[in-house]
A and B are shown apart, each in its own frame.
Chain A
Amino acid sequence: MFLEVKELSVSYGAVDALENVSLHINEGEIVALLGANGAGKSSMLDAISRIVPAKSGRIIFNGADITKEKPENVVRKGIAHCPEGRKIFFDLTVLENLQLGAYTVKDPDAVLVNLEKIFTYFPVLKDRRKQKGGTLSGGEQQMLAVGRSLMSSPKLLLLDEPSLGLAPKLIDQIFEIIRKINFLEKVTVFLIEQNANEALLHADRAYVLENGRISIISDNAEELLKNPHIIRAYLGG
């Protein structure tokens, strides 16, 4: 198994965000984690990238236990996290944002190769590379955030709500690129979404998180689109 989360619990003070959650991701997959606002989706990604400590449980990536690893070492091991709200550096240029994504890459030639690759996926970033990150539109910022995560040549990409605040046409575009990256660059993708419809269309498998626990596991994401509970809760049926 590529990534294995075993009985993970995360809490903020007295509030439990995740309780004994287990899930796994196989190499090469796109896996979606669905759930309502506050279900604990972001906590899951934050725990994997180690910016939030796990209360109990274990996280195993590529055979290594990363539960107690420092965030920078998680990046070095090949996990990139594209966070909620994009969190791009507004005062830095687009190019500097991308360079920061490759902070753990010590070989300058490798950084240039990655940069060219990102520019082929997101040509708009090349045009705007000298602009400050804060001057980009929402869609461009999302592209920058995804591009920045890819600069470290990750094996696993954690995507937190890539569709948030974007027009439907842009959402399709972003998901198309994510699929392309998954296929061509062999990057495994673990994404969380409120937009269940879009996520299930593109994912191989899915988990549904409710009140900090996994409520549904599906090995066929498209099948979930027909699940009455999912339709009622997440697809506005």
Chain B
Amino acid sequence: MNDPYEVLGLARGVGLMEAERAYQRLRELYAEDSLATYALLGSDERRERLNAIEQAFREIVATGNQRPIAFPERPENMSDEPEEDGPLPDPVQHPGLYLGRLRRRTGLQLRDLAERTKISPSKLENIEQERLAQLPPPVYLRGFVLEYARCLGVPDPRQLAENYLRLLAPAHGEQ
């Protein structure tokens, strides 16, 4: 099976966001400790499957320089932030930076997102910049991050919120 879209179970030429969602979903599905695929494959088969998924996604990222199709193109002159082409930050290490990069990549501005999430732009910016000292208490923060991630169509918003709270834990411990 050589077509990377087929490997990820996608229609050919879908947007990068959708490909990433499928990639994350499959990676989780075939993870070593995944209950949902327990005993479905041997450990060699599992590794091979994971490799194929990894390769397929890389190929899609490398060849598809298309913009994500989930969001409309914005006129160039409305952009007040620089274009970024590098890889996305690690969502585990830097969930805030990850969200920020993803938002800019999709062409949304903070105020667009504030409008959709009903969370103020300054709060959203603090979340993106991971300004831990200025963040609301975890119980609110969790909700904000979830909402932000959902609005952007992040593959697993709950996981991302978990990642974010983990970021916070050591900072609180130090205080």
The answer to whether A and B interact is: no
